[in-house]
Amino acid sequence: MLKLGEKIVIVGDRFEQNLPVGEYAYVIAYDRNNDSAFEYIVRVPKANRQFYVPSSDVEREETLLEQEAERIEREALIDFALATRNEELFKRILRGTEEEPSEEEADKEVLSRDEFIRQVNLKAWI
């Protein structure tokens, strides 16, 4: 939930109210009516107006700046990987931060109960 007076950016116009998308605004009130689709009342200084907006149409300025910084960092790493012909780095960046388990770990996780007992008995004989 956004705080009162917080600086936000309008990122969408879900209800087609002619919101100034991309403009800065400030949260001036909460819409406490349960029957309303809107959650905030924001003031856009450039338009000199206030708008009722749902939470999906606004985003904190800091969050948008963090996302933009991550995007730029990722693009710079891709450019570096291409320039240095580092295929491993390039694939890791494109795959994301999630590490895929190796084939051996994947096989161990997928074992059924009967296969597990068979492998334990096999190792017991060795």
Residues 20 and 37 in one domain: yes
Residue at a domain's end among 45, 61, 77? 61
Q: Into how many domains does the chain fold?
A: 2
Question: Residue 38 is part of which domain span?
Answer: 7-61
**DSSP secondary structure letters along 12-40:** --TT-----TT-EEEEEEE---TT-S--E
Residues 80 and 32 in one domain: no
Q: pLDDT tens track of the chain, all 126 residues? A: 889 999 999 999 999 999 999 999 999 999 888 888 899 999 999 999 999 999 899 999 899 999 999 999 999 999 998 898 888 888 898 887 655 555 555 555 667 888 877 777 777 765
Looking up tokens 């999630």 gives 98
According to DSSP, the residues that pair with 59 across neighbouring strands are: 9
* Residue 48 to residue 62: CA distance in whole angstroms: 23
Q: Is residue 31 part of a domain?
A: yes
* Residue 21 to residue 5: CA distance in whole angstroms: 19
